[in-house]
Structure 1
């Protein structure tokens, strides 16, 4: 079984309801990092778009994917939304530790697998 077959098999083993619950939990954890509700909702929509199967992930495509009629909110998010970047990194770390961590665990992020999947 090659890499693509394993990835496909893993993709079919994902419970959509559980995935959505974990996604919602992660968004709840970072919601307080945004000063306003609008950018918080746009961040959520942006992440859902980035995690989707759409081919082109630019502001127009992401906006259309989530039902926006224009890309403005997606364009403003990285440019002008106020949020605490360092706190976001800390929250991601806490999430990983809560879900994957053990007392002696080590997380190693390796981008070579993702790069190989695009071929």
Structure 2
């Protein structure tokens, strides 16, 4: 994945971030991953995730290819699932009061749809899409302030799942079937 980072610093920071996510930390956020990496503040991790220049879709493709190469199985299953992360405030992209299984209720949350590749040898996430509610896409000023590209329109969670499944199959991922929860 090194080629997906134009500079050394974001590449090193990404490595430290992933190691933090894999560590047995009580909570995983920019503060805890930064502390795990030996940083005195979360600023570097926050910069990586919000402002640093790197090819996130390329990293996704590299991870997908790695997972399929190591777990590949003709009977693989693609699993679609949404996950909500509780958020305070209203500035994080896509945040609004909405149902999230994480809380088991309607709460202020950011929701993403994930695609997982699953075989008897193991499973791993191979794609993701952030769900941006219609209330966001109908407010161009809010989208612009949050850094959402102007061409981004509303898409339902099933539409996001369809995009990911299509992209995976077009990339040569083979699966015998697809499953997910009620979405």
Which TM-score band (shorter chain)?
0.5 to 0.7
Q: Say whether the 8 Å CA contact 2:10–2:54 is kept in structure 1.
A: no
> In the TM superposition, what is the alpha-carbon distance from 1:110 to its structure 2 partner?
6.4
State the distance in 2 between where 1:50 and 1:94 align. Answer: 20
1:106 to 76, 83, 98: 76
Matches within 5 A, 1:1-119: 30-102=1-73, 104-109=74-79
Unmatched tracts of structure 1, length 5 or more:
1-29
> In the TM superposition, what is the alpha-carbon distance from 1:86 to its structure 2 partner?
2.1
State the distance in 2 between where 1:42 and 1:59 align. Answer: 11
Relative CO higher for 1 or 2, CA cutoff 8 Å, sep ≥ 6?
Answer: 1
> TM-score, with normalisation over the residues of structure 2?
0.41
Q: Considering only aligned residues, what root-mean-square deviation do their CA atoms show, in Å? A: 2.3
Which is further off, 64-73 or 38-47?
A: 64-73
Report the count of equivalent residues: 84
Q: Secondary structure at the match of 1:97?
A: helix
| 1:65–1:38 Cα change, 3 Å | same
Unmatched tracts of structure 2, length 5 or more:
82-100, 102-183
